[in-house]
Structure 1
């Protein structure tokens, strides 16, 4: 019976991951199209105003991010335990907390944010009124997104990823409608664009709420108050806030250091590297979103063996997925950047390569954070890991002060992330009785074996073939194919290969 449940859970993870990937690809394709069309409709100046004004509100989003992970953990945990009454209380409490966060963002936005808007931002005087209304609509949009978090958490906890896929289709169609209306309106296009996006988010929020109300009994709202649970969830989110704050601080700290030592041209190179990093990270995020509820539920039911198995697989599959995608980029970074950008800022290629390494390492540790959150004991984890990550900025300053090149800060970043990875494992081990030797054997050794087999031949081709487009395509294809087959044959166990084969055959509707 237990093996049947495990097979069902694995099937659910595979199905949900596939749905999330289709959702991501669909939304990315439309986003690329709409970005170009909106730029044409608004013009460069108004498009820049919208992005910079909206970015001020985004600075407050880390408040929401901390509580979003707290809400996700508590909802999933209680669902795993099967305590319906407690689940209702958790949902209602999360609504109150996010209402409080929304009001706090509104307060900060209309005080500190507004002062920054008028005193520091460089906006043409002829567009100040339009920019003000963009700012106000951006605040309202952020508040609506905050209030959507409890409902999104319930959908993820119930593993109804199909809802995200279907509602995302609606969201994308609405975005296309917004773009179309920009060409029809005779009013100020910048203000209309901000207002329509706000209205779109409000409509999507209503759809999510209606879906949850119809499908999940715990979301049918009734007033009640549990002060102890409110304080418990706020405390849990507070330590997550420290972790999120440290991440934002070292990221922006590196950006400022590069600006102080080398000027804005190097910041442009980092900005491009961050874009590449974000695109690659999306692939691991979708897989981990499908796995995370099962990790929390397995802890709630006391099934440590299955939990450990999920952690091992999450780390290994994430590595194999990202390294297969990243390896061709790593090999032919200069060629890819040249084709994409035309003019490539200095240091961009080396920044991209180092940030890909950081991304893969951090993504492998994604399951660790979810596992710690499942236990509810996040204080030590967040304080230690956050403290380690904060050393990136002072260490980078010392290296640059000693004459280090711009890329040296990313080497520091990579080394510190490696230390944080090891610290995460040692903190997690006593919390869930995790075998470090088992992790090393089943994850690290297999990942290294994949690299040893797949890397040499593409590097030889890169060294000996001429630097032409056709040679670059050949190197990229050989690197991706070798990494894919070595991942399949060496990285996966026999049981995992059979599972993958079954899912692929089922997807293609081919019967053995």
Structure 2
């Protein structure tokens, strides 16, 4: 059973990686072009305005998790017999959420953006139009969630990857079209993204109608399912609000204390880090349905094995990609961008460190969601994450530099990880010592050894692309060796060797 799950996870991960590679190329190129077209100031304005919309929509993340959990749990426990009712309920809940978001965004949100954000004189009208369009785009995206959740819960990763790639190409087309439009570029970019959101929603609707003919929007109201989903979502909302405030609330603080240019630097760091994290996100997305289904079917020991391996592999995958960037941020940013915004390099390094700490938490959080008992977890961890904004406000008010904001984020990420361990491991019956020894201990050892040897093997680049490329390859190679020697046990190394031999045997000779 576990072997079959591994094969399915590998296949789904492979499909998501194809999507991810395109996402990385398109995303990095799009950012370069967009920064060049909008300029540092307008780029920073859009980042903080669109980020504020995402802050108002913190409930979307809660509903996304709840929807995927309910679909996957029903597939694991009841073979999907209740999917039609759950799908109908989730559409109703998301429609209600979309209306609430628009109302909140166009009242309190509009007041805050128009009166409290640091927007240069002469750009307020364009920024507010971009804000309204971003609100509409976000509402459309909320309605897409049940459709993507249905594909993910049924592990139809190929179709999900196909639609994601179509969405990326449409966004690329929007950026390439932007320089040829005569109207204000900031406003037109937000309008084009709204069109892309509508086209993406239409595509997901057509695919779901074709693949799941039994799942349709129907009349009626399932009060029990509605209340159950909302109850589960209520506690998820607290955790997602904390995460949203931690990310987008800090962007608002940077805007208030330092202005849009520093927002642009944070935006670049966030997007580059997001590209690296796509590797981990894809593995986690392929594993999530399996964790929930194993819990629902009562196979706890297999769920524990899968969660432990996933947590460790998440860290290792990100570390291999992050090590070259951590050692060469300035050179890579200059190679990528026409104009590098201030603080982008140090923001990128600190953001990656926070991501490495958080990378081991994904399987734990999915395991907690599978149990349905999330009140204590979200109460404590959400409270810890919410400390980001008040602590950063106090420190920045004392005149400390912008990078202080991310130093606080890293410290709280460590505290949140400890809280997750001592709350979730008893909930799922997993000994905390096992997680510390097999995941945290090995991850820390590999990171220290790989970091030391990677630093020692770096050569002075002196502006040479050849030496820079050599440094990147060396850092990745040293990290891979450390993972192989110190991070994997004997059975894991044997499995990887047998998998590589199997793939080689299937590859036709040219």
- Please say if 1:414 is aligned against 2:410: yes
- Provide Cα deviations, 1:422-451, integer angstroms capped at 9, x if missing partner: 111111122110022222232233324433
Higher alpha-carbon deviation: 349-358 or 19-28: 349-358
Distance 1:359 1:161 in 2: 24
> How much is the aligned-residue C-alpha RMSD, in angstroms?
3.6
| Map of 1:236 onto structure 2 | 232
Cα distance change of structure 1 residues 510 and 303 upon mapping to structure 2, 3 Å threshold: same
Q: Name which of 450, 453, 456 aligns with 2:452.
A: 456
Q: Name which of 499, 506, 510 aligns with 2:507.
A: 510
| Map of 1:483 onto structure 2 | 479
- Provide Cα deviations, 1:282-341, integer angstroms capped at 9, x if missing partner: 221111111111111111011111111111111100111111111112222343344445
| Map of 2:103 onto structure 1 | 107
TM value normalised by structure 2: 0.85
Distance 1:286 1:152 in 2: 14
- 1:130-279 to structure 2, matched below 5 A, reads 135-175=131-171, 178=174, 194-217=190-213, 219-252=215-248, 254-255=250-251, 269-279=265-275
| Map of 2:61 onto structure 1 | 65
Contact kept, 8 Å, 1:299 with 1:375, in 2: the verdict is yes
Cα distance change of structure 1 residues 268 and 194 upon mapping to structure 2, 3 Å threshold: closer
- Please say if 1:330 is aligned against 2:326: yes
- Please say if 1:77 is aligned against 2:73: yes
| Map of 1:308 onto structure 2 | 304
TM value normalised by structure 1: 0.85
Distance 1:115 1:465 in 2: 51
Cα distance change of structure 1 residues 424 and 183 upon mapping to structure 2, 3 Å threshold: closer
Higher alpha-carbon deviation: 431-440 or 401-410: 401-410
Q: Name which of 288, 292, 296 aligns with 2:288.
A: 292
Cα distance change of structure 1 residues 114 and 351 upon mapping to structure 2, 3 Å threshold: closer
Distance 1:488 1:266 in 2: 39
Distance 1:387 1:41 in 2: 40
Residue 160 of structure 1: how far off its partner (Å) = 0.7
Any gaps of 5 or more consecutive residues in structure 1? none
Contact kept, 8 Å, 1:84 with 1:218, in 2: the verdict is no
Residue 167 of structure 1: how far off its partner (Å) = 2.1
Cα distance change of structure 1 residues 184 and 394 upon mapping to structure 2, 3 Å threshold: closer
Any gaps of 5 or more consecutive residues in structure 2? none
Residue 375 of structure 1: how far off its partner (Å) = 0.5
Q: Name which of 350, 353, 365 aligns with 1:357.
A: 353
| Map of 1:280 onto structure 2 | 276
Cα distance change of structure 1 residues 123 and 241 upon mapping to structure 2, 3 Å threshold: same
Distance 1:113 1:157 in 2: 33
SS at match of 2:298: coil
Contact kept, 8 Å, 2:93 with 2:226, in 1: the verdict is yes
